[in-house]
Every structure is written in structure tokens, then in C-alpha cells.
Amino acid sequence: MKAAASLQKRLVVGLTLGITLLWLVATIVTGRVVQRELDETFDSSLQETAQRLLPLAILEIFNREDAIAPQRIAPLNMQQEHFSYRVRDAGGKILLQSRLAAPEIFNTRTKEGFTTTATHRLYSASALRATIFIDIAEPLEYRREAAKDATIALLQPLLLLIPISLCGIWLLVRLSLRSVLSYRDAIEKRGVGDLSPIETGQLPAEINPLADAVNHLMERLRCALEAERSFAANSAHELRTPLASTLAQIQRLRREAPEGPLQARIAQIEASLRDLSRLSEKLMQLAKAEGGGLLSETPQDLAVLLEFIVQDLRGTAPTAIKLTLPATGSVLSTIDPDAFAILLRNLIENALKHGAPGAAIEVSLSGAALLAVVNAGPAVPAPVLARLTGRFMRGDSQADGSGLGLAIATTIASGVGARLTLASPATGKNDGFEARVQFMLA
């Protein structure tokens, strides 16, 4: 599935591209305006130059010895000549011209004013009653170069504007979306069992209705789950007394009944009642695991709790339970002691039921709050292992059980921010089953 695009990224990139595009459009429009203004300025300069040169040229022509022969005037700057000009009479005879004045540049027409060719901009003026004319030409290349320089000057700030705009827009969007990001973080930090309303804070007006809808939905979900948990817990609790009374009556009937088929039937009924009693106990544990209250207000020493619970289970366990505690001493976590006891008992009971008969159960706790319960036995296939944490899910073992033990342990682990992982074969072994719970240190 394609990952959702970040709103912050889309705003930053979109606004930066928008500013860049607007700057480019403004540069193009400004370039056109600058080109027109430059043309007017160059035309004015060309006209003024012609008007200044024409009287000087007339004096030069009449003062020289040979007034008929054409003469070339060398420019002061031999490297570059911006203007080319020629002075001619009414018949088109050239009387005076600049050094680089080429015949193909000038128009032979006697029309005064501006003329544009493919390569030059020309201006013609006359004097002495239209008997002497001056044609002055300026290469269009200079105008294009000036317009190009002006456009580049407008575009150069863009190189600095893009990164500055990117940083500025990112900072502005980041600050504007700070409340939205805080709201997102608050949702991400929620445990699976925490359905309390989320503080909306200073959310934007566009997001507030969404936050209210989420809180309303969570409230409805919380009420539905509480009703379900309450029903399961109350049902299991109400069943305990009649089940215990019925089991006592069955046991008494079994002692009074004569030997024979009746005894076998009574034994089957007694076993079914015991299974039902264990199921009601598991349902009560599951209701507690899903009902919250899994965290303690003060840190608890898991090493002390673990030693106490294992010692209590050793009295009824059919096989040995080996306990390994951390050498560092205390391991503090915020899990509720009752929740920790329920989780541990379910993991050890699962190991006792499904482990190899007679093989010891290994229970260990590390200084990093990693709890591990390992039992011997055949390796569990990966497809079966993946579904064992579901409710009423069982493996291929023929042992008695309701299929709720690992589901309860998983629910408690999720509720306290821990992580339950299953492995088969066990770590460092070729077979067996291992359940690891990584708690958060206080």
C-alpha cells in the first residue's frame, strides 16, 4: 500500500514551487518591460549621437583640402566600436565614414528616422536643406546583451530566494502544524487499552471537528468494550459459585456411587466442570487485562515479584521450574503486581501444559527487564506460531486448555507498553518453545 504523503511536505514544496513560478513569471514580464525601456533609451542615444556628429562631420568635410574624396575616421578605442556611421550627399556619395562602416549595414534610402534590419538599428538625419545625410548604425547584439544582463540580474536573487523560501516556509508550516503534530503524537503514544478522550489543545479550526469526532468515536467504543468486559467478568464471577457447588456435589456423588459405568460418567462430568471453572477464571483474567488498571503508580521490583510467584507455582507444578534472576538486583517497572502475576502464571501454565513431560521449565529475568519462559518439546511450525496469540487459538498439542493463556499475556503486555514475542525453537536450542516479554524500565 502506498504511504500517505506528508501534509507538511506538500505545503512546503507546493508553496516554494509557487513562489518560484511567480518569480519566473514576474522576471519574464519585467524582462519584456526592461527590453522596451532599453530600446527607447538606446534609440534616444542613437538619435542624440547622430545629431551631435552631423555638425562636426560637416565642419570636417568643408575644412579638409579634398572635400570630395571619402575619408574614414578612426575611433579612439581601437578594440571596440559601438556605433558605425557614414556621411553622404543627396546622391548617395559617401563623404565621411567610421573605420568599421560596412556598405551592407546601411540602407541607401534617404528616408530620415529609425530603421531596423536583421542585425542593426539605424538612424538617419539630414542637414543643409537635405543635401548632406548622416546614417548611424548600432548592432542589435548590444541591446540583446544588455537585456540578457538585466534578466540575469533579476534571476540571480532566485538562487538565494529558493533555499531561503524553503527554510522559511518549512519553519512557518512547522509552527502552524505544531498543535496537529502534538495531537498525532498523543494518538501514537496511546496504548491499545487507553480509550480516554484526547486533549485537542490549540488545534486549527479545520481540525477541531475531526478531533471531536475521534473523541466521540473513542467514547462509544469505550462504552461498548466496557459493556462487553463487564458482561464477561460478571458472567464468569456469577458462574464461580454455582460451578463450585456443582463440583462439590459431583465429588460427593462420586464417593457415594457404586463402582461401574456410573463412576466413569461422574468422572467425565467432574472433568467438564473443572474445565468450565478454569475457563471462567480465564475470562475474568481477560476482562481485567482489557479493562485497564494495568499500570502501578509506583515502580515495582519485577525480580521480587517473579521469585514470589515462581515459588508459589512450584508447589503445584508437575515438573521443576528453574529460576534465573539478574545479578544486578532490582529490576523496576511500572506494571501492576496483579497484572504481572496473571501474565507470568499464564506463560508458565502454557509451558507446563505443552512442554515435554518431565522436562524442567526455565524462567529468567535480565537486568534489562526481559522476561523469558522456555519449555522443551517439539518445535512449533511458523504458521501455527503466528496465530497462537489469538483468542481461543491452540497449537497441535493434545493438552487441555482454553486457548486464552497467550491471548491474555499479549493483552497485558500491550496494555503496559511491553512487547511479547514467541520463538520456536527456543533461543540457542534445536527445539522447544520460548515466550519473551520486554518490559519498560521505570
Residue reference for cell 480465564: 282
Confidence band for 217, pLDDT divided at 50, 70 and 90: confident
pLDDT value, residue 373: 93
Q: In what order do the strands lie in the sheet with 120-127?
A: 71-73, 94-98, 84-89, 132-139, 120-127, 113-116
Residue reference for cell 537635405: 130
Mean pLDDT of 42-49: 88
Tell me the per-residue pLDDT of 373-411, one tens digit each, with 9 for 90 and over.
999 988 888 888 888 887 766 655 655 656 777 888 888
Residues contacting 62, CB < 8 A, separation 6+: none
Write out the H or E segment, with its range, that includes residue 164.
helix 140-176
C-alpha distances (whole Å) from 404 to each of 260, 283, 339, 362 are 36, 8, 15, 21
Nearest partner of 310 among 348, 354, 262, judged by Cα: 348
pLDDT at 100 exceeding the cut of 80? no
C-alpha distances (whole Å) from 113 to each of 18, 124, 134, 224, 255 are 45, 5, 11, 93, 135
Measured at the alpha carbon of residue 40, what is the angle toward residues 72 and 87, in degrees to the nearest 5? 20
Domains located in the chain, CATH noted: 7-73+82-160 (3.30.450.20), 186-228 (no CATH), 294-442 (3.30.565.10)
Confidence band for 371, pLDDT divided at 50, 70 and 90: very high
Confidence band for 255, pLDDT divided at 50, 70 and 90: confident
What's the DSSP call for residue 441? B
pTM of the full predicted structure? 0.49
Residues contacting 84, CB < 8 A, separation 6+: 97, 98, 100, 101, 102, 105, 120, 136, 137, 138
Distance from C-alpha of 430 to C-alpha of 49, rounded to nearest angstrom:
101
Cβ contacts of 26-34, under 8 Å, gap ≥ 24: 27/151, 27/154, 27/155, 27/158, 30/154, 31/147, 31/150, 31/151, 31/154, 34/147, 34/150, 34/151
Mean pLDDT of 362-377: 91
